Amino acid sequence: MNVDEVLTNEFFIHFDESSERLLVYRVKDGVKLDFPVELRLSTLIEMGSAGASKWVGETLLLLVPTVREKLFHIDKPKE
């Protein structure tokens, strides 16, 4: 899977209580795609509320192509 297959401007976020995971699904053309980014609640708890909030926020921002390029100065991958 290359970077362009992961980046998107739209997401569906779901907390699965049974597995205690925050699931971030990419959405393309209105369709929720398989293979979400999975963030375990136990990991987030270990980070503390401030660290977890920062990490989740940065994770989402890094998945948005324009934000990734303009805010984080990460160039688009060369084909």
Predicted TM-score of the model (pTM): 0.80
Looking at residue 33, what is its pLDDT?
87
Looking at residue 78, what is its pLDDT?
67
Looking at residue 55, what is its pLDDT?
93
**What number of other Cβ atoms are within 10 A of residue 22's Cβ?**
19
pLDDT in tens, the chain (79 residues): 677 777 889 999 999 999 999 999 999 889 998 889 899 999 999 999 999 999 999 999 999 999 999 999 998 766 6
Looking at residue 28, what is its pLDDT?
86
